[in-house]
Chain A
Amino acid sequence: MVNTKLIKDLLNESACSHNKTKKSSCDKPKPGATSGGCAFEGAQISLFPYADAVHLVHGPDTCLGASWETRATLTSYQGENNTPLGYCTNVTTQDIIFGGDKKLASALAYIVEHKKPKAIFVYETCVTAMIGDNIDYTCKVASEQFGLPIVAVHAPGFVGSKNLGSRLAGEAVLDALIGTKEPETIHPYGINLIGDYNVTGDMWQYRPILERIGIHVVSTLSGDGRIEAIQQAHTAKLNVIVCAKSLVTLCRKMQERYGIPYVSVSFYGKRDTSNAIRSIVNAFGDADLSARAERIIAEEEAKLEERLAPYRLLLKGKKAILNTGGNKSWSIASALQDIGIEVVATSIQKATEEDIAIAKEYVPIVFKSPATEQPRLIDEHKVDILLAGGRSLYTAIKKRIAFVDVNQEKKVSYGAYGGLENLALDVCAALRNPVFKLVGTQAPWEAA
């Protein structure tokens, strides 16, 4: 069942800086003035990338029916990839009256028989939380009967935001999986990658580089992840949080329980990628490892500069405004600067205190209300390109400047060194495209 004490603790996470100022992104959502996903979605985002596990949603259809196969989280798993598949108990009126436990038990049996997964995650939803299904018990019995981990994830939508759901998912993994299997050998430079879901293959941009340096990835939560690996996560020497504050509690608890320290990094842009590699390597305090890292960073940066050279010519002197949320408000700004674009301003409307502080280091102007400030800033600074969510498209058309949608589900990776080239390509394509000026022209019957 829902653990209210745990939720309270998670919302007051001591490792979150904003809890000192009390103006937090973990507040209760306001009716009629809320956007963004619920706790269930957060849990789903955090765990669905485990492709070798089946993800069973215990609830009515909305929770899963509208959300399966939506995120391009890639995997190299050779068996049946369960990430883009949707499993749902489809709770109906009958189940709400008589209870959904029996249906859940039969669904688990069906999955074990037909799919033979490495584990099953069972997601509680609002309705099954309210009718009081004993999901923990059903999962425990089934787990013993079938001899595989069946993990109940208690993050029904109404307990809070997406961020909280990610935290609750992390707790479920910590309690039920981490430390349940011992590896044959323990690697001296073993790390866990926490919070990168390998969307469009972001993780694959930098993981091979880390491995070339001599770092071993013990497990991931959860991009291209495996159940067996996360069970051995306690044997890693370092936790690496990638662009995600939601799993900081998990890392703090692993530090307390297993003595694993953690670092927080971002792999957007050249500078941040190189710094991320340095943070990881330096944590081990091994001179040889650090020297090897510096050599490989220098190699990669040189290769990248060569590839970026033609784009730099096109992008020289171009000015941009960025309007997005969370860590993207500074990480994409940093990446844009790395390809030679001047970032005039970035929106901090949907950023946390920490993000705002970092954003100010990268960008001279930060603004709070895009609707009014964006058009003014575009005029004042003669901006060439607006990078924002689809809602701002009309602003760009009206100002007849280029537009890149950075909030939509990305099709290609912008991560690490390789991704920077993709970003440069997209920005150049937008700047070159005549469509933004054409669409903004007047109709013949409007001409004065």
Chain B
Amino acid sequence: MSTAFSLKEAKTNTLKPLHVNPLKLSQPMGATLAFLGIKNCMPLMHGAQGCASFTKVLFTRHFNDPIAIQTTAVNDISAVIDGGERGISEAIENITKKTTPDLVGLFTTGMTETKGDDIKGATLLLKEKQKIVYVHTPDFEGGLESGWSLSVQNIITQLVVPASKVKQEKALLVPNVNMSPIEVEKLKEAMEELGFDVFALPDLSDSLDGHLGVKQGSLSGGGILVRDIEALGDCGLVVTIGRSVRKCGELFLEKNAQTKHVHFDTLTGLEASDRFYAEILAYLGIQSVPNRVKRWRARLQDVLLDTHFVLGKSKVIIADEPDSAYAIAKALLEVGTSVKAFIAQRSEIQEEFTCEVCIGDFEEVEKSLPLSDMLISNFHGERLAHRYHKALLIRGFPNYEQVGVGLRNTILYEGSCTFLCEVNNLLVHHQASQ
């Protein structure tokens, strides 16, 4: 544990002709998760059957829960002669034979975007049969975060009924794709404590939180109701968390110009948590918070001081989706940790990092690893951490190694405390075992 990373190579982009051990996940996968946060929804991926199958397997193993998803199963013939509508209508017919979804989330893949299918047209033709939201999510552009965000944008545009009046205390939360189900729930509770009537879109807090349910897997088991989405127009406040979803808040204002939009890039760490309460209290025009919140802030102050001895002398590499990497980096920088971040896709948030950051794959991560103490990444980092004898904290998608990934909280005062303590303890434990 010695000097900080050099900032010399900062913000360099790798121009390799390939990805070796990719960090990136695709747009359709982000879209899948977004639609799983709506109750009784069937995500329908428009592509070859493998796209949906890979996605289903990844999220099933990540969450340890059944994942609802279907595919239009484009084949070599329909890839050439069908403009999309035939496969899509056949899929809707087969889905509605067995289930009655409140919504079908229809989104594209690389192949169906390459052939240029008209999913808007197909949706209009099926309007009487099934409520559908359509989204363009080619996997040769963007990544997990943008796929999620584009889906939320289209859900807002296509479903929310415009309004001109607002209910001051009705709030909409738009989390980014990296937020765990329990983080969405904690955030809802924090808002409810202050008197809000809160909706989250999407709401994974009761669909992929790992509860034992009776009917498993045919449609999404929980989430925000479609009729609640349609009636969101009178929200007084819309809160977006993570740069990838900021645009969702801006779009919402087109539904109701009276709504106030408040955006946070992160909710992890003292500064971020303070900013959250400052903005929300200002909106409500009040000064006081519940005692519970005050106590947790004081605990976080103490944790910051307790952990700074170890974390202030450590070097950590983060490899994750941009919004998550930013949140983790910012929290660790608060206690003086030296941080270098690798992000999965290009993002506006890249400009906000105050440490070294680049777009990369695990081959690039591996080159930096010998000079660090700890790796924070998805489970693909495990092999590297073992080889170079580094401490490892598994975050992000996918995590096949651990259970309870949906129950991890790293936001606001309380979550920041557990996060910092976990990193600190892992580092100390790792050093002791060397």
Contact = CB atoms under 8 A, between A and B. Distances in A.
Contacts of B50: 37-41, 63, 157
B190 interface: no
B51 A62 contact: yes
Contacts of B58: 66-67
Q: How large is the interface on A (under 10, 10 to 19, 20 to 34, 35 or more residues)?
A: 35 or more
Given A32-B90, A96-B140, A85 B20 contact: yes
B110 A60 contact: yes
Interface in B54-94: 54-58, 60-61, 64, 66, 70-77, 79, 87-88, 90-94
Contacts of B76: 2, 4, 7, 158-160
A35 B71 CA distance: 8
Contact of A32 (B16, B21, B95, B109): B95
Given A31-B88, A31-B91, A127-B114, A394 B216 contact: yes
Contact of A110 (B17, B44, B77, B140): B17
Contacts of A85: 20-21
B28 interface: yes
* Max chain A Cβ within 10 angstroms of own Cβ: one of B51, B88, B92: B51
A90 B14 CA distance: 13
Interface in B320-367: none
Nearest to A95: B140
Contact of B49 (A34, A66, A86, A131): A34
A88 B19 contact: yes
B24 to A, nearest CB: 5
A4 B53 CA distance: 24
Contacts of B79: 126, 130, 158
B131 interface: no
Nearest to A41: B50
B417 to A, nearest CB: 30
Nearest to A397: B212
Nearest to B97: A33
B48 interface: yes
A426 B28 CA distance: 37
Given A4-B76, A86-B19, A34 B139 contact: no
Interface in A72-102: 84-93, 95-96
Interface in B94-117: 94-95, 97-98, 109-111, 114-115
Contact of B114 (A4, A33, A96, A109): A96
B17 A66 contact: no
B69 to A, nearest CB: 9
Given A32-B92, A84-B383, A394-B213, A126 B25 contact: no
B21 A68 contact: yes
A354 interface: no
Contacts of A390: 60, 64, 66
Nearest to A105: B17
A394 B20 contact: no
* Max chain A Cβ within 10 angstroms of own Cβ: one of B22, B26, B29, B216: B22
A65 interface: yes
A31 B71 contact: yes
A149 interface: no
B22 A127 contact: no
A304 interface: no
A70 interface: yes
B73 A409 contact: no
A33 B70 contact: yes
B214 interface: yes
B48 A91 contact: no
B67 to A, nearest CB: 10
* Max chain B Cβ within 10 angstroms of own Cβ: one of A59, A131, A157: A157
Given A92-B141, A127-B140, A41 B54 contact: yes
B380 interface: yes
A409 to B, nearest CB: 7
Given A103-B17, A130-B79, A60 B139 contact: yes
Contacts of A69: 380, 383
Interface string A227-240: 00000000000000
A370 interface: no
B306 to A, nearest CB: 36
A87 B66 contact: no
Contact of A61 (B17, B48, B71, B139): B139
A131 B114 contact: yes
A62 B217 contact: no
Contact of B75 (A61, A92, A159, A439): A159
A93 B116 CA distance: 13
A394 B212 contact: yes
A261 interface: no
B18 interface: yes
Contacts of B214: 394
Interface in B1-34: 16-22, 24-26, 28-29
Interface string A9-32: 000000000000000000011111
Contacts of A36: 49, 53
B53 A41 contact: yes
Nearest to A440: B212
Interface of B: 16-22, 24-26, 28-29, 44, 47-58, 60-61, 64, 66, 70-77, 79, 87-88, 90-95, 97-98, 109-111, 114-115, 138-141, 143, 212-214, 216-217, 380, 383, 398, 400
Given A29-B73, A67-B54, A69-B383, 20 more contacts: A31-B71, A32-B44, A32-B70, A32-B73, A32-B95, A35-B49, A35-B53, A37-B50, A40-B50, A60-B140, A66-B29, A68-B380, A84-B383, A90-B18, A92-B141, A93-B141, A110-B18, A126-B48, A159-B75, A161-B49
Q: Which 7 A-B pairs have the closest CB atoms?
A: A38-B50, A32-B91, A32-B94, A157-B48, A106-B17, A31-B91, A126-B111
7 contacts: A7-B76, A41-B50, A67-B57, A126-B111, A130-B79, A159-B75, A393-B216
